[in-house]
Copies of this chain bind each other. A is one copy, B any other.
């Protein structure tokens, strides 16, 4: 059912009820606490890892987690935990970007690579920024052409002020 229209490249396109329903789950201008709660409530692993969003902006994010629930056999950060914290941090950045800019669609991860440089021996922090060319206009125009939007992100994983690993993840927004 057609419920509203908006102008795209000089012509009007319908927005369906289904699309609006998907869109309705987004909340604009989320606080650090709201994003932390969203991750922990809907992704059990994020709750167990005790991820915390510490600074959330439309184009950048920082997050943190304690070492204790994320240990491996060698009493350093488990490779899987570091990956999972980074994947969730990147997802949170893009989810917030979509919410703030009224972008509808399903956000998923397509593929990712992670490089481990040094052991994580204390609490973990993560940082990520959106590439400058991934603007709201670029994303909206691509979706309105019926295409998926590819959004590559690099998430840095730090401990004791040193870069210990980085994740290069390719997220996709499906129309």
Contacts and interface: CB of A to CB of B under 8 A. Distances in A.
B115 A111 contact: yes
A87 B70 CA distance: 14
B113 A111 contact: yes
Contact of A45 (B45, B109, B113, B115): B45
As for how many copies of this chain the complex holds, the number is 2
Interface residues of A, number: 32
Interface in A37-90: 42-45, 48-49, 68-74, 78-81, 83-85, 87-88
Given A69-B44, A70-B44, A73-B43, A116 B106 contact: no
A85 B81 CA distance: 10
Nearest to A107: B73
A88 B71 CA distance: 12
A29 interface: no
B80 A84 contact: yes
Contacts of A69: 44-45, 48
Contacts of A80: 43, 45, 80, 83-85, 87-88
Interface of A: 42-45, 48-49, 68-74, 78-81, 83-85, 87-88, 106, 108-116
